[in-house]
Amino acid sequence: MMDEQKTKRPVARLAILLGLSTALAVGPVSAALAQASDAPQEQLPSFAPMAEKVLPAVVNISVVEKAGTSPVVDEDDQDDQDDPSQQFGPGATPFDDMLRHFFEQQQPGRQAPGPKQQMMALGSGFIIDPSGYVVTNNHVVGDAAKVTVVFQDGSEHKAKIVGKDAKTDLALLKIDAPKPLPFVQWGDSDKERVGDWVMAVGNPFGLGGTVTKGIVSARSRSIDNSSYVDYLQIDAAVNRGNSGGPTFDLAGQVVGINTAIYSPNGGNVGIAFDIPSDTAKAVIDQIKANGHVDRGYLGVEIQQVTPDLAAALGIAKDGPQGALVAAVTHDGPAAKAGVKVGDVIRQVDGKPIAKTRDLPRIIAETAAGKSVHLSVLREGKPVELDATIGHLDEAKLASADGSDAQTDDAALGMTLSPLNPSMRSRLHLAHDATGAVITHVENGSAADSIGLEGGDVIEKIDGQTVHGPDDAKSLFATAEKTPSKPILLLVDRHGAKSFIALPQTPDAG
């Protein structure tokens, strides 16, 4: 009886409040409320028919790692031991620290001293071909000594690794199938909208055949500094063991592969990242055909066009879009096409480069030997170029890869010195590198405000080549005649080149 009273009181109080609200409401509001109550309520979709259809094709992946292999350690196993002031390295953020590739690891219990036992890892995968091809994550299989695919009915099948691709974190396995196997089909991840329903299936914590539902929370997420994948973000519950498992659209087609989660504690907090199916299918098709992935190569180092850089380049009206070329590989495809340092690549075969990472992804997906059309801005003017894509050799990765006299620029807060053979060697520069090396940066100066430091080499100032400190001083003097405009510097820091917009007052930085 007491429980009934406790449950009825809030309802009664709510009824009084509702009655008061109704009494105070004017006619149009009352009519709107009445119409809303009469409107048909949209029913949430049932995922049962789809789950029944796809579950037989989703498998568990059991991995025995090679003896002596260093196991992947989840960050949360070490969080309590780390000095908080040392958690984040240069350029890192708390987001990076909480980003986890996730799979379930099992370590044997304490044993008597002796040889270390092999580690066990559990992940997920899905069959894409009735002959027995299985897709999973590269970080699940790793340097596996043995891979076993476990079906929903508990049957086990030894698997062979057909090929892996670390850059997209994908792997393809093959099992011998005595009969055609159930399989799922690729969907079109490009059609997925923010807010669309999705369903994830996997093996969280070793609990195989687990289904969770959610929506697409965001598109085109960049994680792990990857230049080759624009991830889908979903809020379906995924945890350790879900790695490599599929995410389905309402048609029961694979639109993503569960790869990483954002988590402060190692558990699900509703933020997970999927490799889009459009990216995964292209990679898996290459692995299936060749056992590896061939990527296109352009031969440039690039960086993002920030608003400050756009202003310094004279392209502010075009907006901070495109990929700014910081270096061109000698005799590479870009050099042969006429691409120059300072060019801003805006399109490749009509595909816009909205973000810097769009360029390496598009080039990587282009077959070697194919001719592509580049639309670039050079000194604010459009230039059209044609380049023949080369083959990306892993040894030559491109990124997203005199006297001792000194001169001071007091206004900008730098002391500059000439380059000599000894200096080039210490700074890991090419033997013919030119420029002016920064030997001192004054605290609080304009140079300090943008992170310039001793050892940086200024190679260009507003597009003009710097041969030494005297050149730099003269070019700075010219630039200072228009103090409202940032000065565009091309800086080499230990062999890595980048453009920097230098404001002419510290506060502007």
Which residues contact residue 236 at a Cβ distance below 8 angstroms, ignoring those fewer than 6 apart?
198, 199, 200, 212, 213, 214, 215, 247, 272
Q: What whole-number distance in Å separates Cα of residue 402 and Cα of residue 407? A: 14
Q: What whole-number distance in Å separates Cα of residue 201 and Cα of residue 58? A: 7
Among 62, 139, 189, 249, the one annotated catalytic: 139
* 363 three-class SS: helix
Task: List, as one string, the DSSP characters of 76-131.
Answer: GGTGGGS-GGGSS-TT--HHHHHEEE--EEE------SSSPPPPEEEEEEEEEETT
Distance of CA 504 to the CA centre of its chain: 34
Specify whether 243 is catalytic. Answer: yes
Q: What are phi and psi of 138, to 5 degrees?
A: -60, -40
- Contact between residue 185 and residue 133 where contact means Cβ atoms under 8 Å apart: no
Q: What is the sign, positive or negative, of the torsion defined by CA atoms of 30, 31, 36, 37?
A: positive
Q: What are phi and psi of 90, to 5 degrees?
A: -60, 125
Q: What whole-number distance in Å separates Cα of residue 508 and Cα of residue 411? A: 14
Among 169, 249, 462, 492, the one annotated catalytic: 169
CA-nearest of 73, 137, 485, 109 to 315 is: 485
Among 62, 189, 226, 243, the one annotated catalytic: 243
- What does the CA dihedral 160, 146, 170, 248 come to, rounded to 10 degrees? 90
Which residues contact residue 191 at a Cβ distance below 8 angstroms, ignoring those fewer than 6 apart?
none
Q: What whole-number distance in Å separates Cα of residue 289 and Cα of residue 286? A: 5
Specify whether 494 is catalytic. Answer: no
Specify whether 467 is catalytic. Answer: no
- DSSP letter, residue 71: P
What's the alpha-carbon Rg for the chain, to the nearest Å?
29
Q: What whole-number distance in Å separates Cα of residue 435 and Cα of residue 408? A: 15
User: Residue 257 is which amino acid?
Assistant: I
**Mind spelling out the 3-state secondary structure of 34-50?**
HHHHHCCCCCCCCCHHH
Q: Active-site residue numbers?
A: 139, 169, 243
